[in-house]
Structure 1
Amino acid sequence: MHGNPMNIPPVSIAAAKAALIEQYSDPTLRRRASMLWGTRGVGKSSIVRQVAEHFGIPLVDLRLTTIEPVDIRGAIYADEALAKTVWFPPEFLPTPNQHEGILFLDELTAADQRLQISAYSLILDRRVGNYHLPDGWQVVAAGNASFHGAISHDMGTALADRMFHFNVQTVIDAFLAHALAADFAPEVMAYLKIRPDKLDDTQAQLAGDHLIGASPRGWEDISNVLKSGLSDGAKRLFVQGRIGAANAAEFFGVLREIQAGVDVVRLLAARPGPETAALLPKTLDALYGMIYGLLAASHDVPALARALEIIEQLPDIRGTMPLPIREAQTLAMELFMQRGLDAGLEAAILDSPAYHRYGERRQLESQHA
Structure 2
Amino acid sequence: MSVNAMTVSAGEALEVLRAGWQAQAAGHMLASYMMHGRPGVGKTQVVEQLANEIGARLFDLRLTTIEPQDLRGLPYYDHDTQKTKWYRPEDLPDDIAHPAILFLDELTAASPMLQPTVYGLLQERRVGRHCLPDNVFVVAAGNTVEDGAIAYQMNTALSDRLIHLHVRAAAADWLDNFAVPRGLHPTVVAFIRTRADLLDTTERALAEGQLIATTPRSWERVSQIMAAVPDRRTRNVLIAGTVGEAVAAEFAMIADDIAATVQVQDMLEADRKARIALYPASMHGLNALIYGLIGILDARNVNGVIEVMADIRDLARLREEPEFKRMPLGELTTYGFEGLIRKGLDLGLGERFLSHDAYKTYAKERQEAGLA
Tell me whether the two structures share a fold, i.e. TM-score over 0.5: yes
Question: Is 1:288 aligned to residue 287 of structure 2?
Answer: yes
Partner residue, 2:357:
353
Change (3 A) 1:291 1:211: same
Change (3 A) 1:56 1:287: closer
**How far, CA to CA, are the matches of 1:341 and 1:77 in structure 2?**
56
**Contact 2:119-2:161 at 8 Å conserved across structures:** no
Change (3 A) 1:128 1:207: same
User: What is the RMSD of the two structures over their aligned residues, measured on CA atoms?
Assistant: 2.3
Question: What's the secondary structure of 2:164's corresponding residue?
Answer: strand
Structure 1 residue 234: Cα displacement: 1.5
Partner residue, 1:181:
181
Question: Is 1:119 aligned to residue 118 of structure 2?
Answer: yes
Count of aligned pairs between the two proteins: 364
Partner residue, 2:241:
241
User: What is the TM-score when the length of structure 1 is the normalising length?
Assistant: 0.90
Consecutive unaligned residues in structure 2, runs of 5 or more: none
**How far, CA to CA, are the matches of 1:172 and 1:354 in structure 2?**
30
One of 337, 341, 344 as aligned partner of 1:337: 341
Deviation readout 1:15-53 (Å, 9 max, x if unpaired): 221221221222455422111111222221222233233
**How far, CA to CA, are the matches of 1:139 and 1:339 in structure 2?**
31
**How far, CA to CA, are the matches of 1:55 and 1:263 in structure 2?**
39
**Contact 2:144-2:151 at 8 Å conserved across structures:** yes
Partner residue, 2:314:
313
Deviation readout 1:248-289 (Å, 9 max, x if unpaired): 11110111222334433443333324x433333222222212
Moved more, 33-42 or 74-83: 74-83
Structure 1 residue 301: Cα displacement: 2.8
Structure 1 residue 83: Cα displacement: 4.2
Structure 1 residue 101: Cα displacement: 2.8
**How far, CA to CA, are the matches of 1:100 and 1:280 in structure 2?**
49
Question: Is 1:268 aligned to residue 268 of structure 2?
Answer: yes
Q: Give the letter aligned to residue 343 of structure 2.
A: R
Change (3 A) 1:359 1:344: same
Change (3 A) 1:318 1:284: farther
Change (3 A) 1:221 1:235: same
Moved more, 238-247 or 295-304: 295-304
Q: Give the letter aligned to residue 3 of structure 2.
A: M
Consecutive unaligned residues in structure 1, runs of 5 or more: none
Structure 1 residue 227: Cα displacement: 1.1
**Contact 1:31-1:139 at 8 Å conserved across structures:** no
5 Å-filtered alignment, 1:56-75, equals 56-75=55-74
Partner residue, 1:301:
302
**How far, CA to CA, are the matches of 2:230 and 2:277 in structure 1?**
32
Partner residue, 2:11:
14
User: What is the TM-score when the length of structure 2 is the normalising length?
Assistant: 0.89
